[in-house]
């Protein structure tokens, strides 16, 4: 079982959103600190030698953006099938085109939104599904149109 990493991002409406996430595991409990990942018990930095890189060979992934987790409306779906997610060794890369982010409706009332959530699920060649990330996005409106 994997524990999803929880991260926050900003989407600038009308601009390309691109980010790369490197995933690895360690054999002991860790926690996130301002300076990075540290050992949960001691607070010491996790040495690079202890990090085992993720292997995305043969995997697929998908993420649906929604205003809230239980909202039936999907704002945007990214996947390895549609090119919105790319898996490469230990890296998971997300891409939202400028056209996709320009189509978002900014505002506090549906169909608009100011923040949303997405969970990235990775499907292994065995068929096992892992929820690896829970991402929260803030939307900043575009002024140049």
CATH number at residue 114: 2.60.40.10
The domain of 79 spans: 5-18+56-140
Answer positive or negative: Cα dihedral of 39, 45, 46, 47: negative
Q: For position 1, what pLDDT does the model report?
A: 60
Closest to 132 measured CA to CA, from 22, 19, 11, 10:
22
Q: How far apart are CA 85 and CA 88, in angstroms?
A: 10
**Stretch 51-77: mean pLDDT:** 97
Read off the pLDDT of residues 97-144 as tens digits, 9 standing for 90 and up.
999 999 999 999 999 999 999 999 999 999 999 999 999 999 999 998
Read off the pLDDT of residues 20-62 as tens digits, 9 standing for 90 and up.
999 999 999 988 888 788 999 999 999 999 999 999 999 999 9
Report if residue 101 sits inside a domain. Answer: yes
Please give the model's pTM, rounded to 2 decimal places: 0.90
The Cα-based distances of 52 to 25, 26, 47 in angstroms read 5, 6, 11
Q: How far apart are CA 8 and CA 137, in angstroms?
A: 6
Report if residue 14 sits inside a domain. Answer: yes
């Amino acid at each position: 079982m994997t524990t999803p990493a929880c991260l926050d991002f900003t989407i600038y409406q009308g601009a390309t959103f691109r980010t790369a996430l490197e995933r690895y595991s360690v054999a002991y409990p860790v926690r996130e600190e301002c300076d990075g990942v540290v050992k949960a018990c001691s607070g010491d930095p996790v040495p690079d030698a202890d990090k085992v890189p993720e292997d995305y060979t043969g995997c697929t992934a998908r993420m649906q953006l929604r205003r809230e987790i239980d909202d039936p409306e999907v704002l945007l779906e990214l996947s390895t099938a549609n090119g919105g997610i790319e898996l490469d060794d230990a890296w998971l890369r997300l891409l939202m085109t400028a056209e996709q982010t320009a189509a978002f409706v900014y505002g506090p009332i549906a169909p608009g939104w100011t923040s949303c959530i997405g969970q990235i699920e990775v499907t292994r060649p065995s068929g096992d599904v892992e929820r690896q990330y829970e991402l929260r996005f803030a939307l900043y409106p575009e002024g140049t149109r």
